Amino acid sequence: MTAERLYHVSDQPGIPLFEPRPVRAGHPRGDLPPVVWAVGERLLHNYLLPRDCPRVTFYAAPGSDPADVARLLGASAARYVVAIESGWLDAVRAAVLWLYELPTDTFELLDPIAAYYVSRAAVRPLSMRRVDDLLGELARRDVELRVTPSLWPLRDAVLASSLAFSVIRMGNAVVAQVS
């Protein structure tokens, strides 16, 4: 059980019960049994985008090197950065998502950096809320949205840094151009 509020984000309204599902093929945690996934409220912003939208998300962790923070977060007043490709901006503007708040009693923390939680039991949502202004929702959550033609250079820089990060759906990212 956790003190953090937990959410599942979906493009489907009215889900009455979340059943454990097998982990998708190729997932880094493919060793898990079927589970229900949730994200902690602290990093909910990482999922306030269309499901298939590739993104690089990052923030300064307590042990992050100040040089990495200065180089990648810069002078931003936001605590978190979510970067997407410019080709996805229209889809983000048009998307509608539903936030399902989930009870915490059967969930366990799987990844503290990404705030991923899993439950091996089926879960009934406590509530559901429609979000039809994803950009506005991100802005209200201390997030800087970066829009770039390709995520690959930023991904490489973030992975080589000491920042906390999540790299999501990169299989859908534009292929980096070789010069």
pLDDT in tens, 31-71: 889 999 999 999 999 999 999 999 999 999 999 999 999 99
List, for residues 93-118, the tens digit of each pLDDT value.
999 999 999 999 999 999 998 999 99
Sign of CA dihedral 21, 26, 27, 28: positive
| Residues β-bridged to residue 127 | 101
**Residue 2 tokens, joined:** 């956790």
Identify any residues that bridge with 57 across adjacent strands, giving them in sequence order.
82, 166
Instruction: State which amino acid sits at residue 158.
Output: V
Please list the alpha-helical segments (H only) found in the chain.
66-68, 89-94, 134-139, 152-159
Q: How far is CA 136 from CA 10, 83, 140, 151, in A?
A: 18, 15, 6, 22
In contact, 97 and 10? CB cutoff 8 Å: yes
What is residue 115's predicted lDDT score, i.e. its pLDDT? 92
The pLDDT of residue 176? 62
Is residue 1 over pLDDT 70?
no
β-pair partners for 35: 21
- Distance, in Å, from the CA atom of 84 to the CA atom of 29, rounded to the nearest integer, reads 24
pLDDT recorded at residue 150? 95
Q: Which two tokens stand for residue 7?
A: 């959410």
- CA atoms within 13 Å, Cβ hemisphere of 135: 10
CA 159 from centroid of its chain's CA atoms: 16
